[in-house]
Amino acid sequence: MKHRIVVLGAGYAGAYVAGTLARRLSPQDAGITVVNAEPDFVQRLRLHQLAAGQAIDAPELADVFAGTGIRLRLARVTAVDPERQVVAVADADGGGELGYDTLLYALGSHAADHGVPGVAEHAFDVSSRPAALRLRERLDSLSRRDEDGSVLVVGDGLTGIETAAEIAESRPGLSVALIARGELGAPLSAGARSHLRRACDRLGITVLEHISVETVEATRVLCSDGMALASDATVWTAGFAVSPIAAAGGLVVTENGRIVVDRTMRSVSHPNVYAVGDSAYAIGDNGRPLPMSCASAGYTGMQATAAIVGRLTGRKIPDTKLEYLGNHISLGRRDGILQMVDDQGQAKPKYVGGRKAARIKAGILKMSLWTTSHPTFGLPKRKHHLAAVPDASAERMVA
């Protein structure tokens, strides 16, 4: 009987791991199934562009995995039962259960409302393709009105900054404001912060600093200092959260639901479960938790792949890099900031800004899309047979 590998999620990390495993493991010994709710690959790093009205590529996953031997199941994951080693899914036919021997959990993250009243009912976000398209429809309706529309972006993290800049540049008829809980761009170097402020001035973005939003209503937001800000479209970018599925299934997770993993991305509570990307709470080479990011998805995906192949084939498991080098921030299509960080995650004094930074960011996005669309390109052609693998439940009892 084939060893059943189930990959939950086909984002940057999930698609990479699935493709690499398909190229490295013998199809006679292992069967790989990818479960994803969307039929297309979602370029999450460009969803703010989609929301602003631009066209972005979305390759069909059926084409991405064609010829790899990977089975694609279009369904929504509803539960994970690591004791029974099954995953519950829901689809147009009602769904069912998938059994697994090895599980790769890569369900990513979504916008976190932090318990703020009205966010779920009235705010927009760009954490998924449907959410970005919903915001796009709202912006389209505002652009068709005779009077100017107002857009309020709450949160000055990377997503908030990029979203505000993209909307302001793509839709100059709209009034865009950005709410920062502290100083705008606080984690950046002094030079990068100055560059960011100049970009906001150039794009006509109103920056509101040291403001905390307490309530979101249909046409305004209420702040902790009693101020009310009018808004025709409130975009919530104040952080991300993960699905409660892992916690509900009994996996050891952090307070915010991320799966606690060891150095090889293996669950500390269930040795046949691996987690990558935003879903994983992984400690980097600098001793600090890796942040939720595309870069972390790449590094954790490489380490999980190496660990799964190594354990299943009886080979030594190498340590891949687990590091975070910096942030790439797009400020519209012709401007950007590349901010490198030190080994403690603090911004280095120098930064790259302007068109050069924009070109670097565009190159990274293009490379990420190409490698995801060709998941087995450039990998070793030799497919390894599986060795005798110890029973996972028995290993857990011994550990």
pTM of the model as a whole: 0.91
pLDDT reported for residue 394: 38
Query: Which is nearest to 14 in space by CA: 29, 44, 35, 30?
Result: 35
pLDDT reported for residue 396: 40
Q: Quick one: tokens of 79?
A: 């539960």
Query: Which is nearest to 54 in space by CA: 378, 263, 330, 316?
Result: 330
pLDDT reported for residue 393: 42
pLDDT tens, 122-164?
Answer: 999 999 999 999 999 999 999 888 778 999 999 999 999 999 9
Query: Which is nearest to 352 in space by CA: 335, 367, 332?
Result: 335
Please list the ranges in the chain whose pLDDT falls under 70: 376-382, 388-399
Query: Which is nearest to 72 in space by CA: 28, 18, 128, 134?
Result: 18
**Total length of the chain:** 399
pLDDT reported for residue 390: 47
What are the phi and psi torsion angles at 197 (to 5°)? -65, -40
pLDDT reported for residue 343: 86
Asked whether 273 and 251 are in contact (CB, 8 A), the reply is: yes
H or E element in which residue 52 lies: helix 47-52
Query: Which is nearest to 366 in space by CA: 322, 340, 330, 331?
Result: 330
What pairing do the DSSP bridges indicate for beta strands 86-90 and 240-241? unpaired
What pairing do the DSSP bridges indicate for beta strands 220-223 and 213-216? antiparallel
Q: Quick one: tokens of 141?
A: 């309706």
- Residue 236: which residues within 8 A CB-CB, separation 6 or more? 111, 113, 119, 123, 124, 125, 154, 155, 216
